[in-house]
A and B are shown apart, each in its own frame.
Chain A
Amino acid sequence: MQPCFRRLLAILCSLGFATTARPALADPDRQATFDPAAFVSDYCMDCHSGKDAEAHLDLAPFQIDKKGADARMADKAFQWITISQRVMDGSMPPEDSEAPSIADRERFTDWVQTTLQRTACEQGVSPGRAPMRRLTRSEYSATLRDLLSIHINAGQDLPVEGAGGEGFDNAAETLFLSPLHAEKFFDAARVGLNYALASPRSRRQVLGAEPDANLSPHDAAKKQLQSFLPRAFRRPVTDTEQQAYQQLFADLFDVTKAYEVAMQRTLEAVLMSPNFLFRLEPTHESPDPKPLDDHALAVRLSYFLWGTMPDQQLMQLANQGKLSDPEVLRQQTLRLLQHQERVRLFAKSFTEQWLGTRTLGREFKPDARVIKQFDAELLGGMKYEPIFFFQELLTQNHSILTLIDSDFTYANRRLAQHYKIPGNFREQPRRVELPEDSPRGGLLGMASVLAVSSHPYRTSPVLRGKWVLETMLGTPPPPAPPDVPALDEVETSASAETLRQRLERHRRDPVCASCHDRIDPLGFGLENFDVLGRWRTSDQGQAIDSRGTLPDGTHFEGPQELKHLLLERKSQFARNLTAKLLGYALGRGLTFKDYCTVSEIVEKLEADEFRSHTLILEIVQSVPFRYHAGTDPARTVTTVE
């Protein structure tokens, strides 16, 4: 490996550098003695000042030691983020010039990030744009279910979405449309409507009052469309829209001479309309953020907590203009959190993507040659444990720290056997109190989490350590360098070395150590769990050693002590979960400015025992959730040249 690359790697590792603009957790002691003005003048200004500044980057006007420098920096936030990334990744200052120490690079980066964040927050929290986005596959299915009162998953054949932003499939930026989509939406609408017409209850949702001697087909259609269209479009419709669909009905009726067929096909068009398929929020061009209108707010709230269209009560409140009243919004949020079935869908969508457990049984299948006794019921129990757990956390207003450790979990019959928990269980998971000495409780005791952070054929302390850093603490380690593979974990029959010995040997290389000292110990703390999360005390004849030592010298042993260590980092955990949930709620990646909101929410959480309702209510009442920025009519689609 080239020397400069090794250095860069060490820097990245020691910072726990996330690749987005995510403010580092600044260490006040480290900052106290750091002089940013001297740093910039010593290492940057030679090339980056004046008219002929390299890359047209002139740092002189920022006057870092003067008052007002902060605001100037905030105006050029993205430029400064780039600067700090270049300094941190070692590409600046260039190789032939005087280079700052690694410690100073870290301090500089911390300083840039804290300054930008502080200034952004002082300027007032601002909401982001509200990009138009189509319904995701699961939102589509749930919406059709409620709109037509049907019980099938009409969207199951739609293509699976990728993810963007904070890692969720509802991120507007990655919700693409391919020719395949319109075809699939067309099919799904037909399937959904056919299904609805076959059952008396849902048939009425589709056809309304059918024409008879006293009601002409056109009047029946008019009436039905008046009730269906606002529900489908999730807002009041204009007269023009109403008339357009009445006209469509009339044209179809001319062709088919049958009310049912004409109505069904009219509603197919409704379900293909961008007004139905897209979540649209009325745009404005004001430079100041504006509150969302009540209908848009109802839609945001409903898709956040239920993953589906607003129900009648929300629509009514929106029609009356009452939903934006903070107290009403609060009550409605709490009401939505009490709907067990729908909150479960939210819990499923959120936790599967946050924890990565959606891959279970899909991309992640345990190797049948190594892992015995894996079956569909166990898979189901594993998949649903975090979902039911998170559902209870939300509906019962538990502390979010129960995700780190808890005295209960959920298990079905097979999972209870797997965990060696006695009692009567069925195929459906149920709540179970855990005894004092149980290694279960919290995410790190869950078989699903322990499996997706393993290889299919054996456990990996590296993968599990990385999982803890990334998923629980929000500080993913940087990638292994391209020309050096991940640590050698593969058994070689010739060597009697244990996995631990091999990893320890590898960590003697300081470059590897800079990351793996942080990663591996966390994973070793979980070695008592096998690939599927079963408790074990030995592996292939070797006793399990679950001791770990963190870079700061803290020793611990086993999952319980690891959980205690994580509880000591509860603010960091809360910050990460808050950012994830806010990103999910907003359906977009967070920007630098959103971290002001995250910080504010974490403060409130800390003051209220980390209650889940506080977290949800604070997100719903936050500026980014309730407001939207204006669109700049001049702005075109941004592309990088």
Chain B
Amino acid sequence: MITKTKIIGLMLFFLGPWSFAEEAPLLAKDPVLEARVKAISLELRCLVCQNQTIADSNAGLAVDLKNQVRDMLREGMNETQIKDFMVERYGDFVLYDPPIKGTTMVLWAGPLLMLFIAFWFSVRFVRRRSRNPDAYKSAEDIDRARALLKD
């Protein structure tokens, strides 16, 4: 019996260590849960870091908060509840996705508003321009540019 195992062991040895090759275990016991933890962590700010999400940071607090997120998900809480939990303790500062409320109205509406204003101005400008009578002036300009560049 003993010799048999020895022989098998010897055979395996000559086959090289690669024959032991086995798939490495995933770090996370529950990959689905881990994916959710990551998705939420990516939107939470690590307060002690310069400007990083808790997903990207290995600081003590970031690790604690990731564990907290994991625990809360295990307890069956959803993303909103977890974010509320964080905001209760650290304020809106912890959210990379700023909530829509009174103080962030300008932030969220700003781009759209700017777009409207800019297009309104441009359309007015183009309308006026398509009726512009002094086109010859610019032709003169172009000629002068050419003349200058020839020098």
Asked if chains A and B come from one complex, the reply is no
| Chain B contact residues, CB within 8 Å of chain A | none
